[in-house]
Structure 1
Amino acid sequence: MHPLLLLLALLLPVGAETEKIIGGHEAKPHSRPYMAFVQFLDKDNKKDSKKRCGGVLVHKDFVLTAAHCWGSSIKVTLGAHNIKEQEKTQQVIPVRRAIPHPDYSPKNYSNDIMLLLVRRPPCSSCPPGSRLPGQVCSVAGWGRISMDTLATTLQEVSLEVQTDWECRSIFRDYYIGATHICVGDPKKMKTGFKGDSGGPLVCNNMVQGIFSYGKNDGTPPGVFMKVSHFLPWIKRTIKVGPAETLSPNQHPHPQGLIVTLL
């Protein structure tokens, strides 16, 4: 299938502190083959610090994640369940190019979405993504399972899409209905948090969102980038990415791009 047709099949239109699966449970090993484990070094700190995010394989050459997951020495691991073990299914792939959205702002996390150009990993089971408030979707990641404990195995949780008003009342001007999806029932202690940024929101087997940020105390709801809004940019980038014709000026990587919210 043509790469762009594949992407369109995966991504259908939908109507602060970041990252962690709270209130979830361990996923069935390798039940989400599209999940990508993203590691990088955050050089914003005085001492280099290894950070983690999630991502989703949307094309044989590209992983979609959050823009604030940018750093040096980015590596993507596919086929992982337990990241502390050397599983035979794991494939560690260096990132050839990190392409954050050109309008990403670390000040309010607007356009917090990024494509990672990788070295042609296999894509045997990339999933395809609904949008109405009340829709139950799933989120997965290797983020924290408590305030002090990072997961070693892939965790998953079912979350309910909320109205824009729910997030706007909490995050004020940070929340933009045109580009964001509000996810997670405030009455239930289930959400994503530290280490889960960039992971996909999957609704009816379709990727609808990319986890961006949430509340400082790790309670729901959380905010996801609305993937359908960014389809034109994703399609343009995937078209030119493998040819590596982009110059640094076209996709600048300023030192201040990454924020310390992981």
Structure 2
Amino acid sequence: VRPQTVLLVFLSIVPQQCFGQIIGGRKADAHSRPYMAYLEIKNGRNTTACGGFLIRPDAVLSAAEQGSLELTEINENVQCISIAKENERVRVGDLCTVSGWGWTSKAGDMSDVLMEVALKVQYAEICEQLSNNFQCQSMICVGDEEEEKATYKGDSGGPLVCNKKAHGIVSHGYEDCLFPEIFTRISHFEPWIQKQLKRFSRKAIPCFPFSD
């Protein structure tokens, strides 16, 4: 299959480490997350791995630095996911899913398969108590109160999927606890994302969004 050039859009609100970890999750079913992309980012002699997700046939959204990559054509196993529009917000209590590759425990156990975990949207005040930098407009407070499930130590680059749309990107957590975590709020940046897509390709490219 002939690859196509794809825009890699960077979206992050804090400095990132480019690796993804899921604790307390489960193995994702084969082809159940057809929008997920595994990325290897090279910086000199160093190579780090992180996730991303396909938001258009020619664009991947991630927490990696902006650039381009090669992607095979869209088919039943490679599909896009819709992103939240500027006026769309998740609600406290919404159960969302995050997918990624990497550590599955604090001990650094690695996974060679895509993992996923279900996390709830929390009240902003919970994150505000731990961080003076928490901003409701551009961030989402997410996590599991029992501290048994989480993304861990950095960012997978994958989406926080709520109601079949990508509403957030794993941003950062806290070293001493798994709950809560801060996610970048995609809806806040949606106009900017659309602007970047138009700069890359002025021609509208149809996408058949993923749906469960």
User: Which category of TM-score, normalised to the shorter sequence, fits these structures?
Assistant: 0.7 to 0.9
> Which residues in structure 2 correspond to 1:41-120 (within 5 Å)?
41-43=42-44, 48-66=45-63, 69-70=64-65, 98=66, 116-119=67-70
Q: How many residues align?
A: 177
Encode CA deviations 1:94-118: one digit per residue, 9 max, x unaligned: xxxx2xxxxxxxxxxxxxxxxx544
Encode CA deviations 1:5-55: one digit per residue, 9 max, x unaligned: xxxxxxxxxxx9864211101111121010011111345xxxx33211111
Q: How many Å separate the matches in 2 of 1:150 and 1:38?
A: 16
Encode CA deviations 1:101-158: one digit per residue, 9 max, x unaligned: xxxxxxxxxxxxxxx5444643442233550010000000002112322210000010
- State which of 80, 89, 92 in structure 2 corresponds to 1:126: 80
> Which residues in structure 2 correspond to 1:168-207 (within 5 Å)?
168-173=128-133, 175-194=134-153, 196-207=155-166
Q: SS of the residue aligned with 1:144?
A: coil
> Which residues in structure 2 correspond to 1:200-239 (within 5 Å)?
200-217=159-176, 219-239=178-198
Q: How many Å separate the matches in 1 of 2:57 and 2:29?
A: 23
- Contact map agreement 1:141 1:195 (CA 8 A) in 2: no
Alignment CA distance shift 1:50-1:117 (3 Å): closer
Unaligned runs of 5+ in 2: 1-14, 203-212
Q: How many Å separate the matches in 2 of 1:131 and 1:204?
A: 9
TM-fit CA distance, 1:159? 0.4
Aligned residues: CA RMSD: 2.2
Unaligned runs of 5+ in 1: 1-15, 71-97, 99-115, 244-262
Moved more, 190-199 or 208-217: 190-199
Between Structure 1 and Structure 2, the one with more helix by share is: 1
Q: How many Å separate the matches in 2 of 1:50 and 1:63?
A: 19
| 1:27 aligned partner | 28
TM-score w.r.t. length of structure 2: 0.75
| 1:167 aligned partner | 127
Encode CA deviations 1:52-99: one digit per residue, 9 max, x unaligned: 111110011110011xx33xxxxxxxxxxxxxxxxxxxxxxxxxxx2x
| 1:137 aligned partner | 96
- Contact map agreement 1:59 1:123 (CA 8 A) in 2: no
Identity %: 37
Q: How many Å separate the matches in 2 of 1:64 and 1:223?
A: 17
TM-score w.r.t. length of structure 1: 0.62
Q: SS of the residue aligned with 1:170?
A: coil
Q: How many Å separate the matches in 2 of 1:222 and 1:123?
A: 32
Between Structure 1 and Structure 2, the one with more strand by share is: 2
Q: How many Å separate the matches in 2 of 1:142 and 1:195?
A: 12
